[in-house]
Amino acid sequence: MFPASANIIIIGGGVLGASAAFQLAKDGHQDIVLLDRGPLASGTTPFAAGQTAYLSVSPDRLPLTTYCLDFLENFADRTGYPIHFNQHGSLRIALTEAYLPELEAHQVAADQLGHELKFLTPEEAKELVPTLDVPDAKGIIFIARDGYVEPKSIAIGYASAARDLGVTIQTHTKVSNIEVTEGKVKAVHTNRGKIQTNHIVVAAGAWTRQLTQRFGLDMQVVPVRHQAYVTAPLVDVVPRQPIVRLIEPQIYVRPEAGGLLVGGYGYRPVSFDMDEFPNRFEISALEPDLIYYSRLHDAATTYFPALRQATVVHERRGLPTITPDAKYLVSKVTEIKGLIIAAGCQVGGIQSSPAIGRMVADLISGQDYFGLLSAFAADRFESVYSDAQLRDQCETVYGNLYLQPH
């Protein structure tokens, strides 16, 4: 039976919305409904690389990133649902001396936490990743606790745990409007009926900006196309090899089903207005940018020569949401009481989902677990961007993600 009312409605059953549902239910909130326009985890979530990079060089963010790491390491204990966390570490590689200070800042962060971080020679790195060829790299660090997960399993795990705690999940339910009366949310209108509510969490991924524009808001977040590809099995790929992140060319490479998954930033950033797509559009139908793939592949073969002869067997692409300052958007909305936005994953929604879900719950529960909610508030932007300026700025942010200190 379709509900007529709920205390909390979450719009979006991807990894952020599902995490928020779980965290809210874990906090003891009741009468929660999670809505998704398609099946659960059917937006950008299943096309993610699922990689973690917890060792932030910003001291104030370390509690947030280490919370996410601990959550993923203990996902089954926290939710009751196991995931496969391939925790084989990561290599972060500076090809020029300009980025050595960033590697050294990671060393400081690791020392502060008492975690393992090693500087490696190019030869030592090649022992871990036989297909890697960076003989002239200026600096290479190995971060032992990084890894990657199957992204859809995370969202399904959150949703399953939320359901066990009493959350109602309604899929194939498209939100057409949010009813606001006297500055307060009143109801959500869907293709299946109207639901009265006290709180609405918009975690609608690529559709967040367009959905909130319908009731006069201008959220500073846009979807930008991100692409990766997977090769057929390669002889020298080691199943337990670490993720490789090359800073200057902004490329990441990790093992996938015996081959390599290759992705990168800055090869032709393009943002989108979701209202320009057909009404029934889904992320799985997103057209590829062949120029992007060509540039990415050409750059990657410089450091992974085996890719020159590799066969591409699968393409991945999605529309992660980007903000003008490369920070999450997790916030109440001062203009509308009861409305919360959870967006701006910065192409890191899987790894940041535990913390984003936690912060959404904090906004309703009246807490601030990390003490960072003000940094992610919707009203933090001093500049008012036109639509064209916002898209241009977010494309620039996306196109330089690896070049900014993490």
Whether residues 232 and 287 share a domain: the answer is: yes
* Cα dist from 301 to 131, 211, 253, 294, 307, whole Å: 10, 40, 11, 11, 5
For residues 249 and 379, membership in a common domain is answered with no
In this structure, is residue 352 part of a structural domain? Answer: yes
272 neighbors 319 (Cβ within 8 angstroms): yes
161: Cβ contacts below 8 Å, ≥ 6 apart? 22, 25, 78, 79, 80, 81
Pick from 287, 318, 349: which residue ends a domain? 318
Strand partners, 256: 259
In a domain, 306, yes or no: yes
Question: Do 236 and 381 lie in a common domain?
Answer: no
Looking up tokens 């057209």, which residue turns up? 287
- Domain assignment present for residue 59? The answer is no
User: Do 364 and 335 fall within a single domain?
Assistant: yes
Q: Is residue 60 part of a domain?
A: no
On whether both 29 and 176 belong to a single domain, the answer is yes
CATH label of the domain that carries residue 376 = 3.50.50.60
What's the CA gap between 21 and 254, in Å, rounded? 30
- What is d(CA 305, CA 49) in angstroms, rounded to the nearest whole number? 21
H or E stretch covering 393: helix 387-399
**Looking at 269, 302, 318, which one is the last position of a domain?**
318
Beta bridge partners of 201: 10, 340
Contact between residue 231 and residue 262 where contact means Cβ atoms under 8 Å apart? yes
Q: Which domain holds residue 268?
A: 84-146+224-318
Q: What is the DSSP letter of 206?
A: G
Q: Is the domain of 233 the same as that of 139?
A: yes
Examine the domain organization and report whether 166 and 134 are in the same domain. Answer: no
The structure tokens listed for 354 are: 């535990």
Domain assignment present for residue 74? The answer is: no
Show which of 289, 318, 347 is a domain's final residue.
Answer: 318
DSSP string, 239-307: TTPPEEEETTTTEEEEEETTEEEEEESSSS--B--GGGS-TT--GGGPPP-HHHHHHHHHHHHHH-GGG
The answer on 299 and 231 residing in a single domain is yes
Per-residue pLDDT tens digits of the chain, which is 406 residues long: 899 999 999 999 999 999 999 999 999 999 999 999 999 998 999 899 999 999 999 888 999 999 999 999 999 999 999 999 999 999 999 999 999 999 999 999 999 999 999 999 999 999 999 999 999 999 999 999 999 999 999 999 999 999 999 999 999 999 999 999 999 999 999 999 999 999 999 999 999 999 999 888 999 999 999 999 999 999 999 989 999 999 999 999 999 999 999 999 999 999 999 999 998 899 999 999 999 999 999 999 999 999 999 999 999 999 999 999 999 999 999 999 999 999 999 999 999 999 999 999 999 999 999 999 999 999 999 777 899 999 999 999 999 999 987 7
Report yes or no on 405 lying in a domain.
Answer: no
Same domain? For 233 and 368 the reply is no
What is the largest distance, in Å, between two alpha-carbon atoms of the chain?
Answer: 65
Domain count, the chain: 2
Rounded Cα distance between 21 and 35, Å, is: 10
Whether residues 211 and 247 share a domain: the answer is no
Together in a domain, 247 and 309: yes
Does residue 79 fall inside a structural domain?
no
Pair (139, 278) in one structural domain: yes
The model's pTM: 0.97
